[in-house]
C-alpha cells in the first residue's frame, strides 16, 4: 500500500476564501491597495520568513504545500502574476482563518 500523506499532515483542501472575495475583509483589501509591501511583510512575518519573501509565487507555494491546499506551482505563478493583490489578500485571509481555527 502506497503512503499518500505524511503522519500529522493536513487533509487535502482548498483556500478557505475565493481569490476575489476581497469584500470579506475590507481592511486587508485596503492594506493591499495602499501599502502592498506592508501586507507582504505581515504575511512573511506570520510565516517566519524574510519580509522580502512575503509577496508572490514562492510564499504562496510554501503556504499551499504546508497546508496541503490544492493547486500547483504553475497555478501559483499565474495567479500571483495576473492578480497579485487578490492573491496576496486571499493568502492573508486564509492565514487569519487558520489562526482563528487554531491550526496556523
Q: How many domains does the chain have?
A: 1
Query: What's the rounded Cα separation, in Å, for the pair 71 and 31?
Result: 26
CA dihedral 80, 86, 91, 92 (to 10 degrees): 140
- Establish if 7 belongs to a structural domain: no
**What single DSSP character describes residue 8?**
T
CB count in 10 Å sphere of residue 70: 10
- Establish if 6 belongs to a structural domain: no
Q: Please give the radius of gyration of the chain, using alpha carbons only, rounded to the nearest integer.
A: 14
Q: Give the predicted TM-score (pTM) of the model.
A: 0.87
- Establish if 45 belongs to a structural domain: yes
- Establish if 15 belongs to a structural domain: no
Task: Give, for all 104 residues of the chain, the pLDDT tens digit.
Answer: 555 555 457 888 999 999 999 888 999 999 999 999 999 999 999 999 988 888 999 999 999 999 999 999 999 999 999 999 999 999 999 999 999 999 88
Q: Domain containing 28: what range?
A: 22-101
- Establish if 17 belongs to a structural domain: no
- Establish if 16 belongs to a structural domain: no
Cβ(82)–Cβ(19) under 8 Å?
no
Amino acid at each position: 500500500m502506497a503512503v499518500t500523506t505524511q503522519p500529522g499532515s493536513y487533509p487535502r483542501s482548498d483556500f478557505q476564501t475565493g481569490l476575489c472575495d476581497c469584500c470579506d475583509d475590507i481592511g486587508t483589501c485596503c492594506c493591499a491597495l495602499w501599502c502592498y509591501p506592508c501586507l507582504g511583510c505581515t504575511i512573511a512575518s506570520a510565516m517566519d520568513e524574510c519580509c522580502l519573501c512575503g509577496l508572490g509565487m514562492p510564499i504562496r507555494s510554501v503556504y499551499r504545500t504546508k497546508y496541503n491546499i490544492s493547486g500547483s506551482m504553475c497555478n501559483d505563478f499565474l495567479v500571483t502574476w495576473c492578480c497579485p493583490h487578490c492573491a496576496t489578500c486571499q493568502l492573508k485571509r486564509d492565514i487569519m482563518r487558520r489562526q482563528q481555527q487554531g491550526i496556523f
